[in-house]
Amino acid sequence: MSRYVLEATGIGVRFGGIQALRDARIGVRPGEVCGLIGPNGAGKTTLFDVVSGIRRPDAGRVMLDGTDVTRRSPVWRARHGMRRTFQRQQLFGQLTVADNLVVAQEWRGGGGGLVADVLGAPARRRRETARRERAADVLRTCGLDALAPEYAGALPVGRARMVELARALADPPRVLLLDEPASGMTADERQQLSAVIRHLADEQGCAVLLVEHNVAFVMELCARVVVLDLGTVLAEGTPAEVRADARVREAYLGTTA
């Protein structure tokens, strides 16, 4: 089995008197879809924040492709192929769906700076065209092409969530972190979401880690599931192994699956 492209080990995070994470760990391999589940307050979002670089842990380390990135910024991690979405939507509501995806590629710079922007230098225009084409491709992959000219702020929640995913894909990620991607989606939308995530993992070798409260969705999509409880890993394995685990049933699944 291939090694982890993303691995966090021994992670500890404390908020005042609350030990949110204690010796927590998570790893994802290229082409793997891994689910992170657990009861409210288990520490899932905190672990996500540590992995994506938003929060520095008090203990432990995060490795990306064999490099210790524990002290690297979220931007540095993004430049090295890591993308994430958030529980709360982060789209630019006054921009169209297509423009949201174009903007997501702007961090690479346009080439030539402000002067090139103002003068409309050919290299700048070519880059803009390439970004628009890339945006159109990703929207097609996500089944969103019809929404390209719509304002992102006017979309129903399930569609907006899908656009968030599309935006995270505008620059092809090697590691994708999805926080509650299916929340607010209809059953059809969830199915479409699953298909896009599977395509990313299977065809592009992307490593996907997702936090999701919809346990049925996780169990169907993910090859491996990690269960967090009280800030530490309670169990880990295939969906069938996790479902059969007595401690997991007692702490979590007993009431939800």
Ligand X SMILES: Nc1ncnc2c1ncn2[C@@H]1O[C@H](COP(=O)(O)OP(=O)(O)OP(=O)(O)O)[C@@H](O)[C@H]1O
CB of 37 to ligand X, least distance (A): 9
Residues within the interface to ligand X (CB under 6 A): 15, 18, 20, 38, 40-46
CB of 146 to ligand X, least distance (A): 32
CB of 222 to ligand X, least distance (A): 17
Q: What angle do CA 168, 174, 177 make, to 5 degrees?
A: 50
Which of 81, 181 has the CB closer to ligand X? 181
Which of 45, 52 has the CB closer to ligand X? 45
Which of 40, 67 has the CB closer to ligand X? 40
Q: Locate 9 and state its tokens.
A: 């080990």
d(CA 95, CA 101): 10
Q: b/e string for 189-216 if b means 16 or more Cβ within 10 A? A: bbebbbebbeebbeeeebbbbbbbebbe
- Closest-CA residue to 182 (of 203, 201, 159, 198): 159
Cα 35 to its chain centre, rounded Å, is 11
Which of 50, 170 has the CB closer to ligand X? 50
CB of 16 to ligand X, least distance (A): 6
